Copies of this chain bind each other. A is one copy, B any other.
Amino acid sequence: MKAETTRTRVIEEGLQTLSQGGLAAVTIGRLAEATGLSKSGLFAHFRSREALELALLDETVRLAWRNVVEPAMRNPEGLPRLMALVGLWFGWSSRAGLRGGCPVAAAMFELDDTPGVVRDRVAELDEEWRRLLHAQVRQAIDLGHLHADTDADQVVWELRGIYLAHHSTMRFQRDPDADRRAQTALVALLQRCGADPANL
């Protein structure tokens, strides 16, 4: 099964391209050249461009899980875990070794009017992520780390806003202040929900 090696190489290379230039930049020709394969040789591994894109999304999930979710889950439930999760989330793609930005965020803006299987998958990932965030906020509320009347959905929504602002500040403006600004916004959001400032 030498294919596994090759496939992995292709997907790793493709993930970098996806991260830097979005889905549109992942063409079979360029990917073949970058990996030293022929177009048809590479194509045989996926049998369609759509399948390649889905494979790349899957790999993105695995990467994010390893780099964000798993380490965050090692923290105690409630606010500490939420803080860890969000802290690992913001800017995770560079720490995961990607030379560009978050593939899912980019895909969301790229596909907002392009129906299809890939868009559907991205929507799924986004929803799963929101659910994960929601669960942590919920737990923080239940444990009394946040006000009982906190609107968890609103908190998740605003966290996404901070993430997107961080993403675009970092990747488009290339302003490293993004981290500080995001941290400030995060602390303000959680304090508004009654978090003890000492735990932020």
Q: Which residues of A contact B (CB under 8 A)?
A: 20-22, 24, 100-101, 105-106, 108-114, 123, 126, 151, 153-154, 157-158, 160-166, 168-169, 171-173, 181, 184-185, 188, 192
Contact = CB atoms under 8 A, between A and B. Distances in A.
Given A158-B181, A158-B185, 5 more contacts: A22-B110, A101-B113, A109-B168, A126-B173, A192-B192
Greatest chain B CB density within 10 A among A100, A101, A108, A163 is at A108
Contacts of A151: 184
B113 A21 contact: yes
A141 to B, nearest CB: 17
Count this chain's copies in the assembly.
2
Contact of A188 (B110, B112, B162, B192): B192
A126 to B, nearest CB: 7
